[in-house]
Amino acid sequence: MSLDVADGIARFLTESAGRPITLTNVAPVSAGARRQNIVLDAHDGDSVLPLVATIVPGAIELAPITAEAGVRQVAADHGVPVPRVHAVCTDPAYVGGSFLLSERVDGETVPRRVLRLVESAGIGDRVAEQLGAAMARLHAIDPVSAPHELPGIEGANPAEAALRDVDAGVAQLLSTRPVFALALRWLERRLPEPPLRPAIVHTDMRNGNLIVGSDGLRAVLDWEGAVRWGDPMRDAAWPALRMWRFRADEREIGGFASRDRFIAGYEGAGGTFDADRFEWWKVLGTLWWGVGLAMQTAAHLDGSVPSIVMAASGRRVPEIEWDLLMLVRPRIRSA
């Protein structure tokens, strides 16, 4: 199949350029549930362009791929490190879906390897600061300048919308689990007001969606979930979830470093860190992950995606319950 895809991409590049472009070193690098990434070298006469093709079957596009390319461009214009977009194709005639061609940025993306590199190069603090700075730059952008197809409603409270979504998910799939009920009530009582400065929010900026080299953070990947008018602390909290630390539990931000390094980077680049909101979104994100696991289990059980991996997700719910309990631990009141 990847050969057909390579043919399609070569044909697209050739037709766009009006001269023959050929591909070598075509290799799939990851096949997620939703999208497929393929690395390739495009030969245009004597020049060779190292690229990555991201292929999205039309039926499961979250945001149109043009919007994803657009938000990446806006982010790049404001100093967020992202791979440059080389081309966007929405005509399914070439590979059977939309695809995006990006410049290839060298470095590690696989979380455990990223952590090993960070450890051996001694750059955990730096990566956490760079991640904070990248987020602050993204959050400083006026959401009006993001592609209008991105989800998000101006004037709405993003926390309220997110809580409504997880509440519905729990009601549907986890209504018999006391920990989820307890965590929902915790969130409800502490529901934050709409953010003072709603922002473009990436929603998945964590270890696994970052390219890291020995010099630190090189690029932020996977912009498919970006939203407008979001709460910037949603982004900040996400890489702090325990599952994105990949067992380096003691380093809150992605297994890289503690929170203070991240805050230094975030505030140093003009962001305003809000600890209460950050905690709220950590609980929300953890709960949301639990709902996601339950959805995978349901997809296995109802036969829509029969898979041992999806089935196993159900037995990961106790991990989320433990994490939730630790995050919503009742405080001894001092006042």
Partner 1 sequence: MPTAPSGSAKRRSNVTTMQYRPTSAELLTALAELLDDVLLPALPPGLQHQARVGANIARILEREVRLGPAALDRESELVRALVGTDDDAASLAQRLHAGGDEEFERGAWEALVAIAHDDVAIAKPGHDSWEGT
Footprint on this chain of partner 1 (rule: CB under 8 A): 175-182, 184-185, 188, 242, 249, 252, 307-309, 311-312, 315-319, 321-323, 325-330
Which ranges of the chain does DSSP label H, i.e. alpha helix?
A: 2-17, 65-77, 111-121, 124-139, 158-173, 178-189, 232-237, 259-268, 275-301, 308-313, 317-327
- Least separation in angstroms between residue 138's CB and partner 1 is 25
Phi, psi of 205 (to 5 degrees): -90, 85
Q: Is the CB of 26 or the CB of 88 nearer to partner 1?
A: 26
- Least separation in angstroms between residue 177's CB and partner 1 is 6
Tell me if 100 sits within 8 A of 69, measured CB to CB.
Answer: yes
Q: Is the CB of 102 or the CB of 109 nearer to partner 1?
A: 109
Q: Is the CB of 60 or the CB of 322 nearer to partner 1?
A: 322
Q: Is the CB of 28 or the CB of 79 nearer to partner 1?
A: 28
Distance separating alpha carbons of residues 303 and 293, to the nearest angstrom: 16
Q: Is the CB of 153 or the CB of 326 nearer to partner 1?
A: 326
Distance separating alpha carbons of residues 292 and 311, to the nearest angstrom: 12
- Least separation in angstroms between residue 271's CB and partner 1 is 20
Distance separating alpha carbons of residues 322 and 176, to the nearest angstrom: 16
- Least separation in angstroms between residue 68's CB and partner 1 is 27
Q: Is the CB of 69 or the CB of 293 nearer to partner 1?
A: 293
Of the CA atoms within 13 Å of residue 189, those in its CB half-sphere come to 8
Which two structure tokens, joined as six digits, stand for 54? 């991201």
- Least separation in angstroms between residue 123's CB and partner 1 is 23
SS3 43: strand
Of the CA atoms within 13 Å of residue 254, those in its CB half-sphere come to 36
CA 75 to chain centre: 14
- Least separation in angstroms between residue 300's CB and partner 1 is 12
